[in-house]
C-alpha cells in the first residue's frame, strides 16, 4: 500500500468477508499486508480512514467495476489462489481532472507491455501462416501451456525463475517440433486442404484446454507467489517484474528480427513465406524450414505465456482462449504472414486495449481493438505491412 511516491506504514487495512465479518492487518514499513482466507468468494479490501495520514484518503480503483463501498477494492478469490491487492492513497483535495494525463501515460505504458507480450506469440503465429498457410487456432493454447509449465517448474518443483523460463522455452519448442513431425507434416503430404487443417487446429485447441483442466484444474495459478516490488517512473507505476519481462520481450524480438534479416536460415524462411514453390525449386528444404518455424513459434508462444503469467499475476486453462482474437487481430492488422507486421500490429492492439477505457467503458476494450482492425482493413485490406495482391 502506498501513495504515488512512497509506501505507507501503520495503516489498518480492513478485509470484509463474503459473510460480512471483517479482519484487519496493519501495513508494515514497506507498505505491504496480507490476509489468509479459508473460503472462496468476493472480498472487499479497504482501510480504516482514522489510520490514514492526515489530509489523505483512499484512492478508488481505476476500474469502476472493482470499486466497493468507501472506495474499497473488490477481490474475487478462489481456494489455493493468491491474489494481489494494491491500495493507493491520495490527497483528500485531489482533483480527478488533473490526473487525466497521468492516466493516459499509465495506460500507454500498460498497452506497450501488453503489446510486447502479444508480439512474442503473434510473430510465431504469423510465420506459421506465412510458411504453411495454416490459421493455427491452437496457437493461443501454447501461450497457456507456457504459463502452466512455468508454474510447474517454478512453484511445484521450486526451480529458480530464470531456469524455469529457460526450460519453458525448451519444452514448448519441443512440442512444436513434435507437432510438425507427427501431425502437420504427414497431413501436408496427404494433401489436406487449408480448411481441413484449420479444423484440426480447432480440435487440437479444445483438446489442450481439456488437458489443462484435467492436470491443473480450473483455478488460476501463479508462477510466483511473492509480492512484486513496485517502482515509479514519473507518472508510471509498475513493478520490477513487469520491467524485466518487457526487457526480455524486447531482446528476444530483436534477436528474432536479426535472425530473419541477417542469417541464412532467416532468409530461407522469408523465401518460403514469400513463395514456397519457388523456394523449393531453388534448393531450399521447405520441410526443414517449416519444422524450424513450428519449433521457434511454439518456443516464443511458451515464453509469452510465462511472462504473461508473471505480469498479470496468474494464468488459467482458458487464458489462451481469451487472447486468441487479440493474436489474430495483431497478425491481420500487421499483414498476414509478415513477422514485422505482427510486431507492429501487436503494439497497436495492446495500446488500443489499454487506452480505450479512458474514453469508453472498460468492458468494451477488446471490442475497440477489433473495431480498429475492421476500420483499417476497410482502407487497407492487406494490413499495415502486407502486400496488395491481384485477385481475378
Q: Out of 5-9, 80-84, 127-131, which region has the weakest mean confidence (pLDDT)?
A: 5-9
Q: What is the pLDDT of residue 389?
A: 56
Mean pLDDT score, 249-276: 91
Q: What is the pLDDT of residue 229?
A: 76
Specify the higher pLDDT residue, 298 or 370: 298
Residue 186: helix, strand or coil by DSSP?
A: helix
Does the residue 34 lie in any domain?
Answer: no
The rounded percent of the chain whose pLDDT value lies above 70 is 90
Mean pLDDT score, 195-199: 92
Mean pLDDT score, 167-190: 94
Residues 107 and 239 in one domain: yes
Asked whether 245 and 312 are in contact (CB, 8 A), the reply is no
Residues 62 and 141 in one domain: no
Q: What is the pLDDT of residue 392?
A: 42
Show the beta-strand stretches assigned E in the chain. Answer: 12-16, 22-26, 41-47, 56-59, 73-77, 88-91, 230-233, 236-239
Q: What is the pLDDT of residue 387?
A: 63
Answer yes or no: is pLDDT of 6 > 70.
Answer: no
Residues 17 and 68 in one domain: yes
CATH number of domain containing 210: 1.10.3470
Between the alpha carbon of residue 31 and those of residues 10, 44, 346, the distances in Å are 8, 18, 35
Cα gap 103→143, rounded to integer Å = 29
Residues 72 and 125 in one domain: no
Does the residue 80 lie in any domain?
Answer: yes
Answer yes or no: is pLDDT of 207 > 90.
Answer: yes
Mean pLDDT score, 348-352: 92
Answer yes or no: is pLDDT of 120 > 90.
Answer: yes
Mean pLDDT score, 218-246: 82
Q: What is the pTM of this model?
A: 0.75
Residues 109 and 82 in one domain: no
Burial of 97 (0-12, 13-18, 19+ CB in 10 A): exposed
Residues 279 and 325 in one domain: yes
Does the residue 13 lie in any domain?
Answer: yes
Specify the higher pLDDT residue, 356 or 171: 171
Q: Out of 21-35, 190-204, 318-332, which region has the weakest mean confidence (pLDDT)?
A: 21-35
Does the residue 98 lie in any domain?
Answer: no
Answer yes or no: is pLDDT of 82 > 90.
Answer: no
Specify the higher pLDDT residue, 95 or 14: 14
Q: What is the pLDDT of residue 58?
A: 80
Specify the higher pLDDT residue, 390 or 275: 275
Mean pLDDT score, 135-159: 93
Q: Rounded mean pLDDT of the chain?
A: 85
Residues 124 and 64 in one domain: no
Residues 152 and 219 in one domain: yes
Residues 18 and 132 in one domain: no
Answer yes or no: is pLDDT of 338 > 90.
Answer: no
Does the residue 316 lie in any domain?
Answer: yes
Q: What is the pLDDT of residue 298?
A: 96
Asked whether 348 and 333 are in contact (CB, 8 A), the reply is yes
Asked whether 356 and 368 are in contact (CB, 8 A), the reply is yes
Instruction: Give the pLDDT band (50/70/90) at residue 61.
Output: confident
Does the residue 306 lie in any domain?
Answer: yes
Does the residue 151 lie in any domain?
Answer: yes
Residues 162 and 66 in one domain: no
Mean pLDDT score, 231-254: 90
Report the helix count and the strand count for the chain, using DSSP H and E: 12, 8
Answer yes or no: is pLDDT of 359 > 60.
Answer: yes
Mean pLDDT score, 366-377: 83
Q: What is the pLDDT of residue 98?
A: 44
Closest by CA position to 140, among listed 341, 296, 305, 299 = 305
Please count the structural domains in the chain: 2
Residue 150 neighbours by CB under 8 Å, 6+ apart: 164, 165, 168, 223, 305, 306, 309, 310
Structure letter (DSSP) for residue 382: T
Q: What is the pLDDT of residue 90?
A: 67
Cα gap 354→352, rounded to integer Å = 6
Mean pLDDT score, 249-253: 96
Asked whether 121 and 304 are in contact (CB, 8 A), the reply is yes
Q: What is the pLDDT of residue 63?
A: 62
Give the structural domain span for 65. Answer: 1-28+41-46+56-91
Q: What is the pLDDT of residue 4?
A: 45
Residues 132 and 181 in one domain: yes
Structure letter (DSSP) for residue 235: T
Does the residue 180 lie in any domain?
Answer: yes
Residues 5 and 153 in one domain: no
Answer yes or no: is pLDDT of 326 > 60.
Answer: yes
Answer yes or no: is pLDDT of 132 > 80.
Answer: yes
Specify the higher pLDDT residue, 388 or 293: 293
Specify the higher pLDDT residue, 27 or 196: 196
Amino acid at each position: 500500500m502506498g501513495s504515488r511516491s512512497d509506501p505507507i506504514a501503520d495503516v489498518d487495512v480492513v478485509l470484509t468477508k463474503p459473510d460480512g465479518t471483517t479482519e484487519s492487518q496493519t501495513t508494515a514499513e514497506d507498505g505491504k499486508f496480507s490476509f489468509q482466507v479459508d473460503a472462496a468468494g468476493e472480498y472487499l479490501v479497504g482501510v480504516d480512514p482514522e489510520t490514514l495520514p492526515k489530509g489523505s484518503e483512499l484512492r478508488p480503483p481505476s476500474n469502476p467495476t472493482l470499486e466497493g463501498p468507501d472506495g474499497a477494492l473488490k477481490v474475487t478469490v478462489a481456494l489455493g489462489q493468491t491474489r494481489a491487492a494494491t491500495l493507493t492513497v491520495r490527497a483528500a483535495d485531489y482533483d480527478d481532472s488533473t490526473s487525466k494525463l497521468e492516466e493516459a501515460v499509465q495506460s500507454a505504458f500498460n498497452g506497450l507491455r501488453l503489446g510486447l507480450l502479444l508480439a512474442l506469440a503473434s510473430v510465431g503465429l504469423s510465420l506459421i501462416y506465412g510458411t504453411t498457410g495454416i490459421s493455427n487456432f491452437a496457437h493461443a493454447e501454447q501461450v497457456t501451456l507456457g504459463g502452466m509449465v512455468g508454474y510447474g517448474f517454478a512453484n511445484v518443483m521450486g526451480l529458480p525463475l530464470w531456469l524455469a523460463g529457460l526450460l519453458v522455452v525448451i519444452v514448448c519448442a519441443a512440442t512444436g517440433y513434435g507437432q510438425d513431425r507427427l501431425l502437420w507434416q504427414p497431413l501436408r503430404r496427404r494433401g489436406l486442404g487449408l480448411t481441413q487443417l484449420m479444423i484440426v487446429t480447432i480440435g487440437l485447441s479444445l483438446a489442450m484446454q481439456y488437458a489443462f483442466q484435467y492436470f491443473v484444474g480450473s483455478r488460476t495459478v501463479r508462477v510466483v507467489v511473492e509480492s512484486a516490488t513496485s517502482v515509479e517512473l514519473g507518472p508510471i507505476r509498475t513493478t520490477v517484474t513487469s520491467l524485466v519481462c518487457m526487457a526480455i520481450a524486447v531482446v528476444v524480438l530483436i534477436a528474432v528480427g536479426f535472425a530473419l534479416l541477417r542469417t541464412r536460415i532467416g532468409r530461407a524462411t522469408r523465401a518460403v513465406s514469400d513463395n514456397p514453390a519457388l523456394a523449393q525449386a531453388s534448393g531450399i528444404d521447405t520441410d526443414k524450414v517449416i519444422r524450424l518455424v513450428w519449433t521457434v513459434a511454439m518456443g516464443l508462444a511458451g515464453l509469452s505465456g510465462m511472462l504473461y503469467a508473471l505480469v498479470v499475476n496468474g494464468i488459467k486453462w482458458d487464458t489462451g482462449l481469451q487472447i486468441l482474437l487479440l493474436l489474430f487481430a495483431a497478425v491481420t492488422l500487421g499483414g498476414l504472414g509478415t513477422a514485422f507486421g505482427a510486431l507492429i500490429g501487436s503494439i497497436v492492439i495492446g495500446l488500443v486495449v489499454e487506452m480505450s477505457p479512458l474514453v469508453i467503458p472498460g468492458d468494451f476494450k477488446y471490442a475497440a481493438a477489433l473495431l480498429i482492425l475492421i476500420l483499417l482493413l476497410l482502407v487497407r485490406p492487406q494490413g499495415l505491412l502486407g502486400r496488395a495482391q491481384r485477385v481475378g
